Amino acid sequence: MQGSRMAELKIPARVLMGPGPSDVDPRVLRALGMPLLGHLDPAFLAIMNDIMEALRSVFRTANRLTLPVSGTGSAGMETLLVNLLEPGDRALVVVQGLFGQRMVDAARRCGAETHVVEAAWGEAVDPAAVERALGQIPGNVKLVAVVHAETSTGVMQPIPPLADIAHRAGALLVVDCVTSLGGCPVEIDAWGVDAAFSGTQKCLSCPPGLAPITLNARAEEAVRARRQPVQSWYLDLTMVMSYWGQERVYHHTAPISMLYAFREALQLVLEEGLEHRFERHRTGSQALAAGLEAMGLELLVTRESRLPSLTTVTIPAGVDELRVRRELLQDFGIEIGGGLGPLKGRVWRIGTMGYSCQEKNIILLLTAMEQVLRRQGQEIPPGAGAAAADAVCASRRPRA
């Protein structure tokens, strides 16, 4: 090929309302584009320290071992499992969707005897079922893993009861917070979570490429007490933490630019304040739900289990769902997501995450949805955008 003939890079304008990545604040884009520093430059080490400290605030933890792994969210999952599990260990994974299934797959690749407790896709698991499943496993269970915000279904799983159950069984609780961190309360210390991972490209509104993790002293001790080396060299926390810690021992070259961006994204989260940010996500998802219901659409998940960052909408009979998504993208520049696994072709996944979670985006999306569904002969009552705007206004606190 004649590569020099590649066209100039041009990026079409989008409003990202799928399951992630979300839109990114221009301040974060500006940070991304700053000139490079070396990965051992004192000015860069200061940036790493700022990130760890801000990340502790966002995870609401005092855990020393709190840092972003140099890979996307799935690398965070893998980091926790390969460091905490080794052949002969037993694990119990709660599965209520695709991302729970992934943890089963990854735990088995660690050589762990991996048990599963399932809930239907679209529902949270009953803590009593987890307790029963744990009781039926002969021998010690080293860890229980669960997804807090299941991105494939839009379900929120309450964590504190599972922490109690895991701890009574002497197991560590590992939590996937990819689609919750920065969008709804994640209380690592108060909930008793032993280890958690997230991604940057959801409610934190930073580009994909980093996986924030946190491990408490108990989980850290489990890593140190391993009988065998971690099977991954790249994700071996005993080495990664020497670089992020006092020692600053070179392990791999940190993704400098992504870390600039992440510092700025965390700064934006802290400037907004976590409580205000959670409320913005709550309000946004309620407005979206009001609009979708005004259009006569049904939501997959009950109100109590619904995520504020991701809404799953049942696709009405007779609708060509791919055409809907294609027209939203082509005609309105809006991205939403399709279903995964058993929900493929059955739901859309609409994100209201981070910088994307703005009233103007929700109103635009609803108006565009009305339009493209009508093109397929669906009888959609008008006024979804207005219903959403009403919901936003109703939820707003009186202003001074």
Show contacts with a copy of itself in window 325-364 (CB under 8 A): 329, 335, 340
Beta carbon nearer to a copy of itself, 152 or 305: 152
Q: Is residue 36 close enough to count as binding a copy of itself by CB under 8 A?
A: yes
**Cβ atoms within 10 A of the Cβ of 340, count?**
18
Which residues face 350 on adjacent strands? 311
Of 24 and 388, which has the nearer Cβ to a copy of itself? 24
Three-state secondary structure call for residue 123: coil
- Rounded-to-integer distance, Cα 286 and Cα 274, Å: 18
Using CB under 8 A as the binding criterion, the count of chain residues that bind a copy of itself stands at 87
Contact region for a copy of itself (CB under 8 A) — 115-123, 204-212, 292-300, 372-380? 204-212
Q: Which of 256, 319, 364, 386 binds a copy of itself (CB under 8 A)?
A: 256
Q: Which helix (H) or strand (E) holds 272?
A: helix 256-272
Q: Which stretch binds a copy of itself (CB under 8 A): 159-167, 186-194, 224-232, 276-284?
A: 224-232
Instruction: Give residues 45-74 in contact with a copy of itself (rule: CB under 8 A).
Output: 47, 50, 53-54, 56-58, 70-74
* Among 118, 137, 158, 231, interactor with a copy of itself by CB under 8 A: 231
Residues in the chain: 400
Q: Does 255 bind a copy of itself (CB under 8 A)?
A: yes
Residue 88 in contact with a copy of itself, rule: CB under 8 A: no
3-state secondary structure of 175: strand
Give the Cα-Cα-Cα angle 143, 148, 151 (nearest 5 degrees).
Answer: 120
- Determine if 155 is a binding residue for a copy of itself (CB under 8 A): no
Stretch that binds a copy of itself, among 43-51, 114-122, 133-141, 373-381 (CB under 8 A): 43-51
Counting contacts by CB under 8 A, is residue 232 touching a copy of itself? Answer: yes
Q: Which is nearer to a copy of itself, 90 or 263 (CB)?
A: 263
Task: Please select the residue that binds a copy of itself; options are 84, 91, 222, 258, rule is CB under 8 A.
Answer: 258
Long-range contacts of 63-66 (CB under 8 A, 24+ apart): 63/188, 63/189, 63/214, 63/215, 63/216, 63/217, 64/217, 64/220, 65/213, 65/214, 65/215, 65/216, 65/219, 65/220, 65/237, 65/241, 66/212, 66/213, 66/214, 66/215
Is 244 within 8 Å of 50 (Cβ atoms)?
Answer: no
Residue 103: in which H helix or E strand, if any? Answer: helix 98-109
Residue 378 lies near a copy of itself (rule: CB under 8 A): no
